[in-house]
Structure 1
Amino acid sequence: MERGGIHVGSPNQPRAGKAALAVLLTAGLLTACSGTGEPGSGGDTAPASVLKGGRFDPPVTMTSWGCYSATYKYKENQSFEQNVGLDWVKEKLGIQIQYLWTTPWENDACLTKMRLSLSGNEPLPDVVYVSVDAKGRSILADLIETGQFMDIGEVFEKHASPAYKEILKAHPELWAFAARDGKRYGIPHTADPYVNSPVLYLREDWLKTLNLKTPGTIDELEAVMDAFVNKDPDGNGKKDTYGLALGVKNNWLEGFASTGWIFGAYGTVPTYWLKGADGSLQYGSVQPGAKEALAKLRSWYEKGYLDPEFAMKDPAKASELVTAGRTGVIDGPYWLPIWPLPDLKKNVPGSSMLPVMLPAGPGGKPGFNGGDSLLGVYLINKKYKTPEALQVYLNKMLQAGGKEKGSDVENGFIEGYDYKMENGAPVAVPDQRVDQILLGNGTPMIPERNLNSLAHLASGAAPRDGFDQGNVAYKDAHVPGSIMQKQLSFGIQNEFKGASTPTMSTKMEALRKMENEVFTKIIYGKEPLTAFDDFVAKWKSSGGDQITKEVNDWYQAAGSK
């Protein structure tokens, strides 16, 4: 869901089964001047196209692999392959988008199809979008290894808008993900790095019923959860409530109902590469703080604070206990009051959720898995004869995402579709986002802008521009956004920005599987806490030490700081 800058969803991939999730990973793009040649060829008989006023004339055709959210509800007789957004791009930019194939992101269907296309030596499209998650890192390495994608440096320098260049000037680290041997193989799809950064939400009415104070530390939160579980906060005479909602079926760092803030309270984040005291990068899952966090989660499970099925549920499923009125605490981003929390009020009259800062750990401060200003990168086929078309498209998408004042996308894409005018002001139609049915399933973002906008509106100030005006509609996200802004300094960043290293490509999947199994068994009490020490030793000897060396080699080559 987005108007103004709000992106509702997971930052890396669709996880919650909600069409509005902006974290949906991108689809593809683009081929050549005529559309009659092979992918990447541009077509040899097409008349030369001229780029004038931001539009190609005659239109150019561009191909890609098309990935989309299976949960998006299209209006009328539309689809991902044929919709008003694609028509808009052709009309406004002179770009005819075509897909070699389309498939959903859900259940890794798109990533699996990408790998099958590569292994089957199928023709590559003109543009490929790659996400920044672990599986995206692996795909990226394989794509670059084909030797069929260009160094995009010249295309970017010649055709990127001043606004796009300014973002990359302020965030040069975003180039590192797709950089090899001094070449840049991917144009960054910039993102709101805070779209999945968590605050804590608590049942406000339960706090009042039980005369409890807002918790400021992990210990104080534990006392609140204990009361939520043992003191019948819903007054039904049954012990049928839980303290904390977690849904880690797919990942310890999901977009909400996650554990990143729990590990963060102990100074680490699982799967992240963190800067150690000696300046080198160390894997977060094998740090001492991870053992402390597992001990705390194990204790919470033993005390009945957690739903026994938390490890088998994704965030959307985990949140159902919250919206049904049976769980009193959940972590999540500023957009959680937009979805799915409103269902709580529908199901439990008089209920309310209170957003608060994350609780401090033993070290006296909170911590959480910091986000990335990079959602993914776009690679361009060397055979593509109009590679600038991609940058022209991204320039316009950035303009739309920022609601650039005075532009033809200041209010939105299509009046009467994704926005309407009421009393002279644009009003969002959240369920009809045009950018979600286009390349990338979302617009590039000025990284800091959305959170700044929410905090500005939370203060009671009037909208400053079209971007703020778009966020007015999401009033329930204003206060959580302002809380998130106050705790930004506690974010723990993943310092590894590169693609998969050689040993990562061959061994990290097995190491991750071992990690997930051990962590889960420790929390459930099926293994003693000392199993963590055995895991660390085995992780190191099974490839972890070599991966750590390769990561630090990359870090030194990239210019560690």
Structure 2
Amino acid sequence: MDNTIDRRALFRGALGVAAASLLTACGGGGGPSSGGVSNAGKQLVPWPAYVPFAGPTPDAPGDDTGVQNLYLKYPETLVQSVGDTVGDGSRVTALVVTYGPPPAPVTRNRYWQAVNKALNVDLQVTVVPDPEYGQKMTTLMASGSDLPDIIMFTNLALPHSLEFIQAQCADLSEFVGGDAVKQYPNLANIPPYAWKGMGRVNGRLYGIPLERPTPANSLFVNRTAMDEAGIPKTWTTEQYLEAMKELSTGRKWGVGWYKTLFGGLGGVTYHAGSLGAPNGWSLSNGQFATTLATPQFEEALGVMRKLVEARSAHPDGLTVSSTDMQTYFHNGTVASVQDGFGAMALTTLTKIDKRFALDLGYPYGPAATPWQGPGIFGYVTFKKAAPERIKLLLRISDYLSAPFGTKEYELANYGVEGVHFTKENGGIETLDLYQSENNNTLPFRYIGTAPSVIYLPGYPETAQAVHDWQKATLPGSVPNPGNGLRSATSVSKGAQLNQIMGDGIAAVVFGREPLSAWKDTVTQWRNAGGDQVAEELATEHAATQ
């Protein structure tokens, strides 16, 4: 069997989110020389006030390290978080990304109809498949006309996106800055790290963050296969390598990766964090230093090289789509794959269908620094309009951001009781219609989303395992200090810097160059603009303190 993998494909898939997090500030955009979107020297609108929702009592509480509240049962009593009428019966258009199949039209979609009725608007949602999203957004921004009312931006760095937002989208500062956000209680419940992960533009607030928990994309593992092979939950570097090799027999492999922005080869982020590398950048005395130059990152490349040499990864991983590789994980063909927390309940557990137990892979290094995510998946912006129209759009986002334990959350996440789900045995039991009408096929969660908790209907053991994993790993996790900051060079030269980094990783991982050659790659990366990015991030950081 030919286990050769194209080196260019490694860059596209194995680097994954590492390339974005190492080189670009959250949301893309420029610095002082790119249209005035930098925050340096600007008067800063205060971050929105934080008024947390008390919520139902969890079975195990979260904490300030990022551990989420754990719920093993669904709340018996729900509260109403939105008391006033949301909409005015008007038509509202929205554009969002999707990672699932397209939804049925509103005329045949009872979930869509129910949400529209609750919002009292005719909400028309255009869903853009992930592979087409970048081009669609580039075309939309270039046209600057006939914009939808609501535009969702993912964490994908889109050149000139912040200039577009500043020119074409509503400045929300007066509506959500400081105590003003209290007019929208569910938006006030969004934690501060999400607002900061989104960042300001020219000192102002232009979006509503779509919160994600502190852990970055994580390593999903087939716990059943690992238990059968006698592989423990915690492991050393050598034990991890041996485990992946042991699971790679016949038509099965230990590692699955795919060519997508997020993930691949267990994720460079997983390996770098396992071995103690800083998350993208380190910050000391106001100065930024790249993780690429650390011995820990170089060691992570060595582990990746050993995985390839041992043929522990699926040989077709970088020629298939993320959907196909996730299917290989769901059916047991690969024993581990990187994915986001948001995929756990809605897609992964459903598609595994209890064929095996799902778990999360623990970091393997002796001094691990698991990498935290930016705290958001993206953010929503609104087309410029009269204040009353902006308030309407904010009320829509506020409704869809209602927290766990509310009636609004139940509708947005599970649909209509008796149609899409029932409540049995202390939990949510989804019905057949939910498989085609849900918040994945029609992602209202990309217009507004609740701060996440750990609740996995029908899978209390997995929920407990996730909570245990968070308690064990998050105290040592580290954020990227560049989150929410702006850098002109990371936008103008990001593709070139990514090329240098990707080619260097490919050369080392696939044995064309010795591990020692990585230092030359780092020098080339620095000279091509990496050091300039560091300087711009330092300027931004100083301005936003």
Q: TM-score, normalised by structure 1?
A: 0.70
User: Which secondary structure does the structure 2 equivalent of 1:497 belong to?
Assistant: coil
- Partner in structure 2 of residue 383 of structure 1: 385
Distance 1:184 1:410, change over 3 A: closer
1:124 paired residue among 143, 147, 150: 147
In the TM superposition, 1:329-368 aligns within 5 A as 329-330=336-337, 340=348, 352-353=356-357, 355=359, 358-361=362-365, 364-368=366-370
Is 1:394 paired with 2:404? no
Is 1:63 paired with 2:77? no
The aligned amino acid for 1:183 is R
- Partner in structure 2 of residue 472 of structure 1: 457
CA contact (8 A) 2:486 2:536 kept: no
Distance 1:406 1:241, change over 3 A: closer
- Partner in structure 2 of residue 260 of structure 1: 269
In the TM superposition, 1:486-501 aligns within 5 A as 486=471, 487-498=473-484, 500-501=486-487
The aligned amino acid for 2:396 is Y
For residues 70 and 339 of structure 1, the distance between their equivalents in structure 2, rounded to whole angstroms, comes to 10
Is 1:164 paired with 2:187? yes
For residues 410 and 121 of structure 1, the distance between their equivalents in structure 2, rounded to whole angstroms, comes to 31
Is 1:483 paired with 2:488? no
- Partner in structure 2 of residue 465 of structure 1: none
CA contact (8 A) 2:216 2:340 kept: yes
Distance 1:72 1:441, change over 3 A: farther
The aligned amino acid for 1:247 is W
Distance 1:194 1:84, change over 3 A: farther
User: Which secondary structure does the structure 2 equivalent of 1:525 belong to?
Assistant: coil
The aligned amino acid for 1:182 is G
Distance 1:521 1:313, change over 3 A: farther
User: Which secondary structure does the structure 1 equivalent of 2:314 belong to?
Assistant: coil
In the TM superposition, 1:262-277 aligns within 5 A as 262-268=271-277, 272-277=279-284
The aligned amino acid for 1:543 is G
Is 1:93 paired with 2:113? no
User: Which secondary structure does the structure 2 equivalent of 1:492 belong to?
Assistant: coil
For residues 384 and 307 of structure 2, the distance between their equivalents in structure 1, rounded to whole angstroms, comes to 54
- Partner in structure 2 of residue 105 of structure 1: 129
- Deviation (angstroms), 1:404: 1.3
CA contact (8 A) 1:198 1:484 kept: no
Distance 1:419 1:293, change over 3 A: same
Distance 1:305 1:330, change over 3 A: same
For residues 434 and 343 of structure 1, the distance between their equivalents in structure 2, rounded to whole angstroms, comes to 14
CA contact (8 A) 1:202 1:355 kept: yes
- Partner in structure 2 of residue 283 of structure 1: 290
Distance 1:507 1:345, change over 3 A: same
For residues 107 and 501 of structure 2, the distance between their equivalents in structure 1, rounded to whole angstroms, comes to 39
- Deviation (angstroms), 1:484: 2.5
The aligned amino acid for 1:547 is V
Distance 1:89 1:217, change over 3 A: same
Distance 1:71 1:227, change over 3 A: closer
Distance 1:416 1:423, change over 3 A: same
CA contact (8 A) 1:150 1:381 kept: yes
Distance 1:546 1:80, change over 3 A: farther
For residues 284 and 527 of structure 1, the distance between their equivalents in structure 2, rounded to whole angstroms, comes to 20
- Partner in structure 2 of residue 503 of structure 1: 489
Distance 1:81 1:557, change over 3 A: farther
For residues 247 and 235 of structure 2, the distance between their equivalents in structure 1, rounded to whole angstroms, comes to 16
CA contact (8 A) 1:89 1:96 kept: no
The aligned amino acid for 2:98 is S
CA contact (8 A) 2:272 2:300 kept: yes
- Partner in structure 2 of residue 513 of structure 1: 499
Which deviates more from structure 2 when the two are superposed, residues 378-387 or residues 415-424?
415-424
For residues 498 and 320 of structure 1, the distance between their equivalents in structure 2, rounded to whole angstroms, comes to 34
- Deviation (angstroms), 1:292: 0.9
For residues 520 and 412 of structure 1, the distance between their equivalents in structure 2, rounded to whole angstroms, comes to 43
- Partner in structure 2 of residue 142 of structure 1: 163
Q: Deviations over 1:333-382 (max 9, x none)?
A: 66659855787799xxxx84573651431xx2334332233222222233
Aligned residues: percent identity? Answer: 17
User: Which secondary structure does the structure 2 equivalent of 1:154 belong to?
Assistant: helix
The aligned amino acid for 1:196 is N
Distance 1:139 1:490, change over 3 A: farther
The aligned amino acid for 2:372 is G
Is 1:217 paired with 2:240? no
Quote the RMSD (CA, aligned, Å).
Answer: 3.8
User: Which secondary structure does the structure 1 equivalent of 2:243 belong to?
Assistant: helix
Distance 1:318 1:414, change over 3 A: closer
Q: Deviations over 1:207-260 (max 9, x none)?
A: 546x6655521122223334445xx6xxxxxx6553x31314224x52894332
- Partner in structure 2 of residue 190 of structure 1: 211
- Partner in structure 2 of residue 155 of structure 1: 175
Distance 1:310 1:111, change over 3 A: closer
For residues 136 and 289 of structure 2, the distance between their equivalents in structure 1, rounded to whole angstroms, comes to 33
For residues 84 and 410 of structure 1, the distance between their equivalents in structure 2, rounded to whole angstroms, comes to 12
CA contact (8 A) 2:172 2:205 kept: yes
For residues 514 and 107 of structure 2, the distance between their equivalents in structure 1, rounded to whole angstroms, comes to 52
- Partner in structure 1 of residue 451 of structure 2: 446
Distance 1:514 1:417, change over 3 A: farther
Q: Please list every run of 5 or more consecutive structure 2 residues that lacks an aligned counterpart in the other structure.
A: 1-15, 18-26, 28-81
User: Which secondary structure does the structure 2 equivalent of 1:530 belong to?
Assistant: helix
Distance 1:97 1:516, change over 3 A: same
Distance 1:286 1:344, change over 3 A: same
Distance 1:522 1:383, change over 3 A: same
CA contact (8 A) 1:507 1:543 kept: yes
Distance 1:521 1:318, change over 3 A: farther
Distance 1:67 1:556, change over 3 A: same
- Deviation (angstroms), 1:63: 3.0
CA contact (8 A) 1:201 1:330 kept: no
CA contact (8 A) 1:129 1:440 kept: no
